[in-house]
Amino acid sequence: MEFGQDPTLLQTLQQDDWEIRYAQYAPFDLFRLPTRLTIQRATTTVRVIIRNWELPSSS
């Protein structure tokens, strides 16, 4: 695990030959959540863009 300049935001996670890079975060409600990720293993690369997060309502 690697963290960026903000020690609360994950920058890179490696597990079982997979690497997940968290390229961008944005505020959603009370949290900063990832909005751009790159997931890579060997020759496979997946780029994910998240435009909206839905958090469970507190009831």
Q: Is residue 16 part of a domain?
A: yes
Total count of domains within the chain: 1
d(CA 24, CA 14): 17
Q: Is residue 51 part of a domain?
A: no
Global pTM? 0.80
1-57 pLDDT per residue, tens: 898 888 889 999 999 999 999 999 999 888 899 999 999 999 999 999 999 998 787
Query: Could you list the residue range(s) of the whole structural domain that residue 25 is in?
Result: 2-45
Residue with tokens 């935001």: 9
Selection from 45, 51, 48 nearest residue 19 by Cα:
45
Tell which wins on pLDDT, 25 or 58. Answer: 25
Q: Is residue 15 part of a domain?
A: yes
Q: Is residue 20 part of a domain?
A: yes
The pLDDT value recorded for residue 59 is 65
Q: Is residue 58 part of a domain?
A: no
Residues 6+ apart with CB under 8 A from 28: 52, 53, 55
